[in-house]
């Protein structure tokens, strides 16, 4: 196992470049099949999903659009306030087939609060494609329609995912080495 040092922690190889590429191709094949004859709008969530979205989109062979957004969450006056604002969402989603592209679904909190806001625009359909999913970490029930890898509840970096802003440039996905 190759290890890398990111900021102040050691991470070991978990998913290789080849494993990721194969999985991305398989996901793209599913999407090409399921959305044949449609013109879906992919919405990739920055920053983490940029690499996955780019590789996935290159393998989409049907007519499709892509847009990148950033989510900012505001804690309202009430402690439980979970208002999530999308920065950069310009398209009208009415009647569109929308596919949200995420790097990882961890607790599910982000999408759990964000998806209903998109539903308000009445897309024809709204699905989620996530490269990674940590089911053991789920706190907010969420349907993930296209999942790359189901992974254990351990912190990962690389391929767009960061640890304190670092490690996004790694080609492989690394898992925290438990001390
Ligand atoms: P959730 O709202 O708890 O599902 O968290 C989703 C976001 O947290 C992801 O889009 C990531 O940006 C970040 N995240 C969750 N787990 C990890 C991890 O293991 N490594 C890096 N980022 C993570
Ligand atoms: Mg993210």
* 8 A C-beta contact, residue 55 and residue 18: no
DSSP result, 142-153 = ---SEEEEE--S
Residue 151 CB: number of other CB atoms within 10 A?
Answer: 21
Tell how far the Cα of 48 is from the centroid of ligand 1, in angstroms.
8
Q: Are 31 and 146 in contact (CB under 8 A)?
A: yes
How close is the Cα of 23 to the center of ligand 2, in Å? Answer: 19
* Assessment of whether the complete model's pTM goes beyond 0.85: yes
Mean pLDDT, to the nearest integer, of 33-60?
Answer: 98
| Catalytic, out of 8, 10, 106, 145 | 106
CA-CA distance, 91 to 99, in Å (whole number)?
Answer: 13
Q: Which of 4, 48, 128, 150 to mutate to test the pocket of ligand 1 (most atoms within 8 A of CB)?
A: 48
Cα–Cα distance measured from residue 80 to residue 83, given in angstroms and rounded to the nearest whole number: 9
**What are the backbone angles phi and psi of residue 161, rounded to the nearest 5°?**
-85, 140
- The Å distance, Cα 24 to ligand 2 centre, comes to 17
- Is it the case that residue 83 has pLDDT exceeding 80? no
Predicted confidence at residue 79, as pLDDT, reads: 45
* Structural Rg of the chain based on CA atoms: 16
* Weakest mean pLDDT among 50-64, 68-82, 140-154: 68-82
Does the annotation mark 92 as catalytic? Answer: no
pLDDT (tens digit per residue) in 9-20? 999 999 999 999
Segment 110-130 shows an average pLDDT of 96
Q: Are 150 and 162 in contact (CB under 8 A)?
A: no
């Amino acid at each position: 196992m190759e290890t890398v040092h990111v900021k102040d922690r050691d991470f070991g190889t978990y998913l290789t470049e080849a494993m990721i590429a194969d999985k991305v191709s398989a996901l793209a094949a599913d999407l090409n099949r399921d959305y044949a004859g449609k013109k879906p709008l992919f919405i990739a969530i920055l920053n983490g999903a940029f690499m996955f979205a780019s590789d996935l989109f290159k393998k989409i062979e049907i007519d499709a659009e892509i847009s990148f957004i950033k989510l900012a969450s505001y804690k309202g006056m009430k402690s439980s306030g979970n208002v999530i604002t999308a920065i950069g969402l310009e398209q009208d989603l009415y009647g569109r087939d929308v596919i949200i592209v995420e790097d990882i679904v961890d607790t599910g909190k982000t999408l759990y609060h964000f998806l209903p806001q998109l539903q308000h625009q009445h897309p024809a359909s709204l699905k989620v494609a996530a490269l990674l999913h940590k089911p053991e970490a789920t706190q907010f029930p969420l349907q993930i329609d296209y999942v790359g890898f189901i992974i254990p509840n351990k912190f990962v970096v690389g391929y767009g995912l960061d640890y304190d802003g670092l490690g996004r440039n790694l080609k492989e996905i690394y898992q925290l080495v438990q001390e």
